[in-house]
Amino acid sequence: MANAIIDQSGMRVGDERRRGRASGINPSGRYEALARHAFDDGWSSLDDLPAFKTEVQVEKPRAIITRNESPDISFDRSINPYRGCEHGCVYCFARPTHAYMGLSAGLDFETKLFAKPDAARLLEKELSKEGYQPRTIAIGTNTDPYQPIEKKWRIMREILEVLEAFNHPVGIVTKSALVMRDADILGRMAEKGLAKVALSVTTLDAKLSRTMEPRAATPSRRLETLRTLSQAGIPVSAMVAPVVPGLTDHEIERILESVAHAGAKEAGYIILRLPLEVSPVFKEWLLRHYPDRYRHVMALIRSMRDGKDYDSEWGKRMKGTGPYAWQIGRRFEMTARRLGLNIEKRSLRTDLFRAPSARAEQLMLL
């Protein structure tokens, strides 16, 4: 019973069933009419239950560019080629979005994925609209565009082909080495000042990374990816994100030194966020892997969130508040300054944007 975790169907999820997954629970989505709770009636046979496998469904949205007006992020539009993420990062703030699909933010988020194969066609249509004003499109700010299923679906590559054809700027955030596959397109766009890539580096501890973000690239592989892209002439930066107080915050300086050595010229950080269903998923994981640190880690988190697991207020949600958050911020800034990071912020060009004439003419006939 020690390893018994409750899933959405009311059965216990054992180690074998969730091998390679970060979440240990699969609670009902918050919009569901019924919530199921497991109890041991002595009749169930856990050995007969199948392991959680990755399933991909096709999603057909009407538009692909998502707009936002958040004052504490640097972009106003983004694209998400996928919903859900097989990387399975236990702390992922996008987990609660699976509730909109009637699914769980736990194991469902890591295993029941949605792909948008019409993304490139929709993007082409939206960029061709009369009066469209170009600004950098951010990709990877919700779920990772280079998660493992991208190898088969290649949606991200098709999106980049459209953006290159339109000379449209793009900023990418990923934890995957698969981004190197598209170095040819990104290299050509970078020559025009149209592309930059950020790698998220949460920890340099391979063991911790394996449990916390099980299907993402290893820390050493991410550093190698930064170096390779930088040598290819593609501007690279790093996100120390999220900083998990009491677990990864002692690595801030080492991470910044490593990414700077790999070629990053810019870096940023975000304090761990635990909105909605992310909180129980993270806390269960923490109890399972680091029970001796649980109370300390949660106390530090709440010290930066006005005594709560999370505070969604703009201006606070990314960096937190209080003495501990202030200390993390100063450590980051001092180290970045010492390493020469963030001396110049690279802005991508928008003046080269144009609709390819042949495609524009075809779309006008529709």
| Cβ proximity of 280 and 360 under 8 Å | no
Q: What pLDDT is stored for residue 74 in this prediction? A: 84
Q: What pLDDT is stored for residue 7 in this prediction? A: 43
Q: What pLDDT is stored for residue 33 in this prediction? A: 76
Q: What pLDDT is stored for residue 228 in this prediction? A: 98
What are φ and ψ of residue 255, in 5° steps?
A: -65, -45
CATH code of the region 56-340: 3.80.30.30
Comparing C-alpha atoms, which of 175, 145, 170, 159 is closest to residue 350?
170
Q: What pLDDT is stored for residue 150 in this prediction? A: 98
CB atoms within 10 A of CB 94: 19
pTM greater than 0.85? yes
CA distance 244 to 259: 18
Alpha helices in the chain (DSSP H): 107-111, 119-127, 150-153, 155-166, 183-191, 206-212, 219-231, 252-261, 278-289, 294-303, 323-338, 357-364
Domain extents in the chain: 56-340
Comparing C-alpha atoms, which of 341, 124, 91 is closest to residue 241?
91
pLDDT tens for the 366 residues of the chain, in order: 334 444 444 344 666 678 889 999 988 888 877 776 555 566 655 556 678 899 999 999 999 999 998 888 889 999 999 999 999 999 999 999 999 999 999 999 999 999 999 999 999 999 999 999 999 999 999 999 999 999 999 999 999 999 999 999 999 999 999 999 999 999 999 999 999 999 999 999 999 999 999 999 999 999 999 999 999 999 999 999 999 999 999 999 999 999 999 999 999 999 999 999 999 999 999 999 999 999 999 999 999 999 999 999 988 999 999 999 999 999 999 999 999 999 988 899 999 999 887 554 454 445
Q: What pLDDT is stored for residue 34 in this prediction? A: 73
Q: What pLDDT is stored for residue 69 in this prediction? A: 85
- Whether cis (ω within 30° of 0) applies to the bond prior to 242 is yes
The alpha carbon of 45 is separated from its chain's Cα centroid by a whole number of angstroms, namely 36
